Amino acid sequence: MDQFFSLLIGYAFGCFLTADVVCRRLVGKPVFQVGVGNPGMANVGHELGTKAAVLVLAGDIAKTLAAWLVARALFPANAAVCGLAATTGATIGHNFPAWHRFRGGKGVTTTCSAIILAAPALGIASAVVGLVVVLLSGYLCVGAEAITLTFLLACCVAYGPTSAYAAYALVLAALMLWAHWSALVAAAHGTQPRASISVKFWKRLRHGR
């Protein structure tokens, strides 16, 4: 029951879409009417600039951290797992907010925050792997999925495949796959735009040579 309530707590925090608040304050309209309509840092940054993107990033990290802290405070006997349950709930809330007909963001920031809070070394290593995959593949969606798959594998090795850590890592991987499925299909067909960070990386690498 501790984990169930932690999931609910996380979900409540996750439903707060920072990107929507930022867009309403800066341009007077919901984020769903800005750019591609995705309530995430990338869309807001592309349309409104770096400062707006930083605000969204900070807010999404903050709500995930808040969920983690509250769950750990309420259930100290099972703090580690309840914290991970809460941050997983925050990602579910971010991706499927009840107040917007369960249509939300893709949960990359909340997921990275969740895995780093749960297991700092494994989480950071997984995020780095994801970044490298983005640079090499050219696709944000591929890198995002690489983050959760790497963390899932790491949890299976470190804690065991039947552990609570592995179970929540599997949920996070499934959420990431669901959120990026259309982009992954497009990438496989060569119709998905390449990430600007990868394009710039390869240009600099070629110029360096």
Q: With CA atoms as reference, report the closest residue to 136 among 85, 202, 56.
A: 202
Kindly state the tokens that stand for 4.
């169930």
Q: Which residues of 12-41 are buried (b: 16+ CB within 10 A; e: fewer)?
A: bbbbbbbbbbbbeebeeebbbebbeebbbb
Per-residue model confidence (pLDDT) at position 202: 75
Kindly state the tokens that stand for 42.
């990338």
Per-residue model confidence (pLDDT) at position 209: 55
Per-residue model confidence (pLDDT) at position 192: 86
User: With the CA atoms of 53, 114, 147 and 16 taken in that order, what torsion angle do they form, in degrees rounded to the nearest 10?
Assistant: -40
CB 180 within 8 A of CB 106: yes
Per-residue pLDDT of the chain (209 residues; tens, 9 = 90+): 899 999 999 999 999 999 999 999 999 989 999 988 888 888 888 889 889 999 999 999 999 999 999 999 999 999 999 999 999 999 999 999 998 888 889 999 999 999 999 999 999 999 999 999 999 888 899 999 999 999 999 999 999 999 999 999 999 999 999 999 999 999 998 888 887 777 777 777 777 65
Q: Where are the domains of the chain?
A: 1-118, 120-209
How buried is 55 (Cβ within 10 angstroms: 0-12 exposed, 13-18 middle, 19+ buried)? buried
